[in-house]
Amino acid sequence: MALPNDLIVQRPEGLYCPPGDFYIDPWRRVERAVITHAHADHARNGHAHYLATQASEGVLRARLGAITLQTLPYGEVVEHRGVRVSLHPAGHVLGSAQVRVEHAGRVWVASGDYKVAADPTCAPFEPVRCDVFITESTFGLPIYRWQPDALVFADINAWWAGNASQGRASVLACYSFGKAQRLLSGLDASIGPIVCHGAADPINRAYRAAGVVLPETTPATQLDKAGAARAMVLCPPGALGGVWLRRFGDHSDAFASGWMRLRGGRRRGGFDRGFALSDHADWPGLMSAIAATGAQRVIVTHGSVPVMVRHLGAQGLLAEAFETEYGDEQDPPEGAPA
Protein backbone atom coordinates (compact mmCIF):
# COMPACT_ATOMS: atom_id res chain seq x y z
CA MET A 1 0.00 0.00 0.00
CA ALA A 2 1.40 3.36 -1.03
CA LEU A 3 2.38 5.67 1.81
CA PRO A 4 2.45 9.48 1.74
CA ASN A 5 5.63 10.81 0.10
CA ASP A 6 6.69 7.45 -1.34
CA LEU A 7 9.57 7.92 -3.76
CA ILE A 8 8.27 5.32 -6.19
CA VAL A 9 4.60 4.50 -6.79
CA GLN A 10 2.52 2.49 -9.25
CA ARG A 11 0.87 4.16 -12.20
CA PRO A 12 -0.79 2.68 -15.29
CA GLU A 13 2.35 3.55 -17.26
CA GLY A 14 4.74 1.87 -14.81
CA LEU A 15 6.79 2.58 -11.69
CA TYR A 16 6.83 6.35 -11.20
CA CYS A 17 8.99 8.70 -9.12
CA PRO A 18 6.72 11.69 -8.27
CA PRO A 19 9.37 14.20 -7.12
CA GLY A 20 11.61 13.37 -10.09
CA ASP A 21 8.79 13.04 -12.64
CA PHE A 22 10.30 9.97 -14.32
CA TYR A 23 9.49 6.28 -14.68
CA ILE A 24 11.55 3.14 -14.15
CA ASP A 25 11.12 0.48 -16.89
CA PRO A 26 7.68 1.81 -17.93
CA TRP A 27 5.48 -0.44 -20.05
CA ARG A 28 3.57 2.44 -21.66
CA ARG A 29 4.97 5.48 -23.45
CA VAL A 30 6.30 8.20 -21.16
CA GLU A 31 8.42 11.33 -21.39
CA ARG A 32 11.35 10.12 -19.23
CA ALA A 33 12.30 6.48 -18.68
CA VAL A 34 15.13 5.09 -16.58
CA ILE A 35 15.90 1.63 -17.97
CA THR A 36 17.38 -1.15 -15.83
CA HIS A 37 18.33 -3.39 -18.76
CA ALA A 38 17.58 -4.10 -22.41
CA HIS A 39 15.24 -7.10 -22.18
CA ALA A 40 12.06 -6.36 -24.08
CA ASP A 41 9.76 -6.44 -21.04
CA HIS A 42 11.82 -3.68 -19.37
CA ALA A 43 13.04 -1.63 -22.34
CA ARG A 44 10.25 -0.71 -24.72
CA ASN A 45 10.04 1.55 -27.75
CA GLY A 46 8.31 4.91 -27.79
CA HIS A 47 9.66 6.84 -24.80
CA ALA A 48 10.83 10.40 -25.45
CA HIS A 49 14.02 10.15 -23.37
CA TYR A 50 15.94 7.15 -22.01
CA LEU A 51 18.52 6.95 -19.22
CA ALA A 52 20.57 3.74 -18.86
CA THR A 53 24.09 2.51 -18.17
CA GLN A 54 26.96 3.06 -20.57
CA ALA A 55 27.46 -0.70 -20.70
CA SER A 56 23.92 -1.25 -21.98
CA GLU A 57 24.09 1.25 -24.84
CA GLY A 58 25.12 -1.19 -27.56
CA VAL A 59 22.40 -3.71 -26.76
CA LEU A 60 19.73 -1.02 -26.29
CA ARG A 61 20.50 0.52 -29.68
CA ALA A 62 20.62 -2.91 -31.33
CA ARG A 63 17.16 -3.68 -29.96
CA LEU A 64 15.40 -0.29 -30.00
CA GLY A 65 17.13 1.50 -32.87
CA ALA A 66 17.35 5.30 -32.92
CA ILE A 67 16.36 6.46 -29.42
CA THR A 68 17.25 9.56 -27.41
CA LEU A 69 19.56 7.89 -24.91
CA GLN A 70 21.58 9.36 -22.05
CA THR A 71 24.04 6.97 -20.44
CA LEU A 72 25.82 6.89 -17.08
CA PRO A 73 28.77 4.89 -15.81
CA TYR A 74 27.92 2.68 -12.86
CA GLY A 75 27.80 4.71 -9.66
CA GLU A 76 27.75 8.18 -11.26
CA VAL A 77 25.01 10.46 -9.94
CA VAL A 78 22.72 12.65 -12.02
CA GLU A 79 20.31 15.06 -10.35
CA HIS A 80 16.87 15.79 -11.78
CA ARG A 81 14.31 18.02 -10.06
CA GLY A 82 16.18 17.59 -6.77
CA VAL A 83 16.26 13.78 -7.02
CA ARG A 84 19.65 12.07 -7.13
CA VAL A 85 19.70 9.04 -9.43
CA SER A 86 22.51 6.53 -9.87
CA LEU A 87 22.77 3.12 -11.52
CA HIS A 88 24.49 0.14 -9.87
CA PRO A 89 25.35 -3.35 -11.19
CA ALA A 90 22.55 -5.90 -11.05
CA GLY A 91 24.50 -8.89 -12.40
CA HIS A 92 21.61 -9.92 -14.66
CA VAL A 93 22.90 -9.27 -18.20
CA LEU A 94 25.30 -6.85 -19.87
CA GLY A 95 24.62 -3.32 -18.62
CA SER A 96 21.88 -4.33 -16.18
CA ALA A 97 21.40 -1.95 -13.28
CA GLN A 98 19.62 -1.29 -10.05
CA VAL A 99 18.25 2.24 -9.85
CA ARG A 100 19.11 4.16 -6.68
CA VAL A 101 16.81 7.12 -6.03
CA GLU A 102 17.58 9.61 -3.25
CA HIS A 103 15.43 12.56 -2.19
CA ALA A 104 14.96 14.47 1.07
CA GLY A 105 17.11 12.02 3.01
CA ARG A 106 15.29 8.90 1.78
CA VAL A 107 16.84 6.22 -0.43
CA TRP A 108 14.92 3.72 -2.55
CA VAL A 109 16.42 1.10 -4.86
CA ALA A 110 14.55 -0.59 -7.72
CA SER A 111 16.42 -3.76 -8.61
CA GLY A 112 15.02 -4.58 -12.04
CA ASP A 113 16.11 -8.19 -12.63
CA TYR A 114 19.24 -9.44 -10.89
CA LYS A 115 21.40 -12.40 -9.94
CA VAL A 116 24.14 -12.65 -7.36
CA ALA A 117 26.14 -15.51 -8.96
CA ALA A 118 29.36 -14.57 -10.75
CA ASP A 119 29.08 -14.19 -14.52
CA PRO A 120 31.99 -13.21 -16.78
CA THR A 121 29.66 -11.57 -19.30
CA CYS A 122 28.41 -8.75 -17.03
CA ALA A 123 29.37 -6.66 -14.00
CA PRO A 124 28.70 -8.48 -10.70
CA PHE A 125 25.74 -7.63 -8.48
CA GLU A 126 26.47 -4.81 -6.05
CA PRO A 127 24.39 -4.52 -2.85
CA VAL A 128 23.12 -0.96 -2.38
CA ARG A 129 22.07 0.20 1.07
CA CYS A 130 18.61 1.74 1.12
CA ASP A 131 15.45 2.35 3.13
CA VAL A 132 13.15 0.63 0.64
CA PHE A 133 14.11 -2.11 -1.82
CA ILE A 134 11.96 -3.09 -4.80
CA THR A 135 12.88 -6.68 -5.67
CA GLU A 136 11.96 -9.10 -8.41
CA SER A 137 10.81 -12.61 -7.42
CA THR A 138 11.02 -14.57 -10.69
CA PHE A 139 12.37 -17.60 -8.84
CA GLY A 140 11.08 -16.66 -5.42
CA LEU A 141 10.40 -20.17 -4.13
CA PRO A 142 12.70 -22.17 -1.79
CA ILE A 143 12.99 -25.01 -4.34
CA TYR A 144 15.00 -22.79 -6.69
CA ARG A 145 18.67 -23.23 -5.76
CA TRP A 146 21.27 -23.07 -8.52
CA GLN A 147 24.37 -25.22 -8.81
CA PRO A 148 27.71 -23.46 -9.37
CA ASP A 149 28.19 -22.51 -13.01
CA ALA A 150 31.29 -24.72 -13.26
CA LEU A 151 29.19 -27.82 -12.60
CA VAL A 152 26.45 -26.77 -15.04
CA PHE A 153 28.92 -26.03 -17.84
CA ALA A 154 30.78 -29.29 -17.20
CA ASP A 155 27.45 -31.07 -17.68
CA ILE A 156 26.65 -29.11 -20.86
CA ASN A 157 30.08 -29.74 -22.38
CA ALA A 158 29.93 -33.44 -21.52
CA TRP A 159 26.53 -33.68 -23.23
CA TRP A 160 27.92 -31.90 -26.29
CA ALA A 161 31.03 -34.10 -26.42
CA GLY A 162 28.93 -37.25 -26.13
CA ASN A 163 26.69 -36.16 -28.98
CA ALA A 164 29.65 -35.15 -31.14
CA SER A 165 31.28 -38.55 -30.66
CA GLN A 166 28.11 -40.12 -32.09
CA GLY A 167 27.96 -37.75 -35.08
CA ARG A 168 24.96 -35.84 -33.73
CA ALA A 169 24.56 -32.07 -33.36
CA SER A 170 23.70 -30.55 -29.98
CA VAL A 171 20.89 -27.98 -30.11
CA LEU A 172 20.62 -25.86 -26.97
CA ALA A 173 17.56 -23.60 -26.74
CA CYS A 174 18.20 -20.33 -24.93
CA TYR A 175 17.23 -16.68 -25.07
CA SER A 176 19.21 -14.58 -27.53
CA PHE A 177 20.12 -11.79 -25.11
CA GLY A 178 21.94 -12.68 -21.93
CA LYS A 179 21.56 -16.45 -21.81
CA ALA A 180 23.17 -17.12 -25.21
CA GLN A 181 26.23 -15.01 -24.33
CA ARG A 182 26.57 -16.58 -20.90
CA LEU A 183 26.44 -20.02 -22.48
CA LEU A 184 29.01 -19.03 -25.08
CA SER A 185 31.38 -17.96 -22.31
CA GLY A 186 31.28 -21.43 -20.75
CA LEU A 187 31.42 -23.67 -23.83
CA ASP A 188 34.51 -25.74 -24.62
CA ALA A 189 35.20 -24.71 -28.20
CA SER A 190 37.66 -27.60 -28.68
CA ILE A 191 34.72 -30.02 -28.92
CA GLY A 192 33.43 -28.68 -32.22
CA PRO A 193 32.10 -25.63 -34.06
CA ILE A 194 29.64 -23.30 -32.32
CA VAL A 195 26.68 -21.92 -34.24
CA CYS A 196 24.40 -19.10 -33.06
CA HIS A 197 20.99 -18.38 -34.54
CA GLY A 198 20.86 -15.03 -36.33
CA ALA A 199 18.74 -13.54 -33.56
CA ALA A 200 21.79 -13.57 -31.28
CA ASP A 201 24.30 -12.12 -33.78
CA PRO A 202 23.71 -8.39 -33.11
CA ILE A 203 23.72 -9.04 -29.37
CA ASN A 204 26.98 -10.97 -29.61
CA ARG A 205 28.51 -8.03 -31.49
CA ALA A 206 27.37 -5.61 -28.80
CA TYR A 207 28.89 -7.81 -26.08
CA ARG A 208 32.21 -8.05 -27.91
CA ALA A 209 32.22 -4.29 -28.51
CA ALA A 210 31.76 -3.84 -24.75
CA GLY A 211 34.88 -5.94 -24.13
CA VAL A 212 33.22 -9.25 -23.22
CA VAL A 213 35.31 -12.19 -24.46
CA LEU A 214 33.21 -14.74 -26.36
CA PRO A 215 34.40 -17.67 -28.49
CA GLU A 216 34.07 -17.38 -32.24
CA THR A 217 30.92 -18.73 -33.83
CA THR A 218 30.48 -20.21 -37.32
CA PRO A 219 27.60 -19.32 -39.63
CA ALA A 220 25.44 -22.38 -40.23
CA THR A 221 25.81 -21.90 -43.99
CA GLN A 222 29.59 -22.41 -43.73
CA LEU A 223 29.43 -25.82 -42.07
CA ASP A 224 30.00 -28.99 -44.05
CA LYS A 225 28.18 -32.18 -43.11
CA ALA A 226 30.93 -33.34 -40.75
CA GLY A 227 31.03 -29.96 -38.99
CA ALA A 228 27.26 -29.87 -38.59
CA ALA A 229 27.36 -33.32 -36.97
CA ARG A 230 29.72 -32.04 -34.22
CA ALA A 231 28.22 -28.60 -33.74
CA MET A 232 26.81 -26.91 -30.67
CA VAL A 233 23.84 -24.89 -31.90
CA LEU A 234 22.42 -22.08 -29.75
CA CYS A 235 18.97 -20.92 -30.82
CA PRO A 236 15.86 -19.30 -29.35
CA PRO A 237 13.13 -21.72 -28.22
CA GLY A 238 10.92 -20.55 -31.06
CA ALA A 239 13.37 -21.93 -33.63
CA LEU A 240 12.99 -25.50 -32.42
CA GLY A 241 11.24 -27.64 -34.99
CA GLY A 242 11.68 -24.98 -37.68
CA VAL A 243 13.21 -25.16 -41.14
CA TRP A 244 16.46 -23.52 -39.93
CA LEU A 245 17.38 -26.59 -37.86
CA ARG A 246 16.96 -29.09 -40.68
CA ARG A 247 20.47 -28.41 -41.96
CA PHE A 248 21.89 -30.06 -38.83
CA GLY A 249 20.16 -33.38 -39.46
CA ASP A 250 20.01 -35.78 -36.52
CA HIS A 251 20.44 -33.87 -33.29
CA SER A 252 19.82 -33.92 -29.55
CA ASP A 253 18.05 -30.92 -28.03
CA ALA A 254 18.09 -29.28 -24.63
CA PHE A 255 16.84 -26.14 -22.90
CA ALA A 256 18.90 -23.90 -20.58
CA SER A 257 16.58 -22.25 -18.05
CA GLY A 258 15.96 -21.99 -14.34
CA TRP A 259 12.68 -23.74 -15.09
CA MET A 260 14.68 -26.93 -15.64
CA ARG A 261 15.24 -27.05 -11.87
CA LEU A 262 11.70 -28.39 -11.47
CA ARG A 263 11.09 -32.07 -12.02
CA GLY A 264 8.99 -32.49 -15.12
CA GLY A 265 10.10 -29.25 -16.78
CA ARG A 266 12.21 -31.04 -19.38
CA ARG A 267 9.47 -33.62 -19.99
CA ARG A 268 6.78 -30.99 -20.55
CA GLY A 269 9.01 -29.20 -23.03
CA GLY A 270 9.83 -32.41 -24.87
CA PHE A 271 13.61 -31.90 -24.53
CA ASP A 272 16.25 -34.61 -24.37
CA ARG A 273 18.06 -32.66 -21.65
CA GLY A 274 17.47 -29.70 -19.39
CA PHE A 275 20.12 -27.50 -17.78
CA ALA A 276 19.15 -25.32 -14.82
CA LEU A 277 20.94 -22.09 -15.67
CA SER A 278 19.23 -18.79 -14.95
CA ASP A 279 20.10 -15.11 -15.17
CA HIS A 280 17.88 -14.45 -12.15
CA ALA A 281 18.70 -14.93 -8.47
CA ASP A 282 17.64 -18.18 -6.83
CA TRP A 283 15.93 -18.26 -3.42
CA PRO A 284 19.15 -17.96 -1.36
CA GLY A 285 20.37 -15.24 -3.72
CA LEU A 286 17.17 -13.24 -3.31
CA MET A 287 17.31 -13.53 0.46
CA SER A 288 20.99 -12.55 0.67
CA ALA A 289 20.52 -9.60 -1.69
CA ILE A 290 17.57 -8.26 0.28
CA ALA A 291 19.41 -8.62 3.59
CA ALA A 292 22.48 -6.83 2.21
CA THR A 293 20.45 -3.70 1.39
CA GLY A 294 19.53 -3.18 5.06
CA ALA A 295 16.04 -2.15 3.90
CA GLN A 296 13.26 -2.52 6.44
CA ARG A 297 10.59 -2.17 3.77
CA VAL A 298 10.62 -4.47 0.74
CA ILE A 299 8.29 -4.27 -2.26
CA VAL A 300 8.06 -7.46 -4.33
CA THR A 301 7.31 -7.52 -8.06
CA HIS A 302 6.87 -10.06 -10.89
CA GLY A 303 7.23 -13.71 -9.95
CA SER A 304 6.34 -15.64 -6.81
CA VAL A 305 5.05 -12.50 -5.14
CA PRO A 306 2.70 -13.85 -2.42
CA VAL A 307 5.25 -16.38 -1.16
CA MET A 308 7.99 -13.75 -0.96
CA VAL A 309 5.75 -11.22 0.77
CA ARG A 310 4.67 -13.75 3.40
CA HIS A 311 8.21 -14.94 4.02
CA LEU A 312 9.68 -11.45 4.32
CA GLY A 313 6.84 -10.38 6.61
CA ALA A 314 7.60 -13.36 8.85
CA GLN A 315 11.20 -12.12 9.05
CA GLY A 316 9.99 -8.84 10.53
CA LEU A 317 10.18 -6.72 7.39
CA LEU A 318 7.42 -4.49 6.09
CA ALA A 319 6.69 -6.43 2.89
CA GLU A 320 4.19 -5.66 0.15
CA ALA A 321 3.71 -6.03 -3.59
CA PHE A 322 3.66 -3.90 -6.72
CA GLU A 323 1.70 -5.09 -9.73
CA THR A 324 3.80 -4.80 -12.86
CA GLU A 325 3.68 -5.94 -16.47
CA TYR A 326 7.14 -7.44 -16.54
CA GLY A 327 7.57 -11.00 -17.76
CA ASP A 328 9.60 -13.04 -20.23
CA GLU A 329 10.82 -11.41 -23.39
CA GLN A 330 9.90 -14.69 -25.12
CA ASP A 331 7.55 -17.38 -23.96
CA PRO A 332 9.32 -20.60 -23.04
CA PRO A 333 7.52 -23.93 -23.00
CA GLU A 334 4.67 -24.03 -20.51
CA GLY A 335 5.17 -20.32 -19.79
CA ALA A 336 8.39 -21.00 -17.90
CA PRO A 337 10.65 -18.12 -16.84
CA ALA A 338 14.06 -17.59 -18.40
CA atoms within 13 A on the CB side of 212: 28
- 205-257 pLDDT tens trace: 999 999 999 999 999 989 999 999 999 999 999 888 788 888 888 899 999 99
- Domains present along the chain, CATH in parentheses: 9-143+279-335 (3.60.15.10), 149-275 (3.40.50.10710)
Residue 259 DSSP label: G
pLDDT in tens, the chain (338 residues): 667 689 999 999 999 999 999 999 999 999 999 999 999 999 999 999 999 999 999 999 999 999 999 999 999 999 999 999 999 999 999 999 999 999 999 999 999 999 999 999 999 999 999 999 999 999 999 999 999 999 999 999 999 999 999 999 999 999 999 999 999 999 999 999 999 999 999 999 999 999 999 999 999 989 999 999 999 999 999 888 788 888 888 899 999 999 999 866 656 568 899 999 999 999 999 999 999 999 999 999 999 999 999 999 999 999 999 999 997 654 333 333 44
| Predicted local distance difference test score (pLDDT) of residue 1 | 60
- Global pTM? 0.94
Long-range contacts of range 12-21, CB-CB < 8 Å, 24 or more positions apart? 14/324, 14/325, 15/110, 15/134, 15/322, 15/324, 17/83, 17/101, 19/81, 19/82, 19/83, 19/103, 19/104, 20/80, 20/81, 20/82, 20/83, 20/85, 20/101, 20/103, 21/80, 21/81
Pairing between strand 106-110 and 97-103? antiparallel
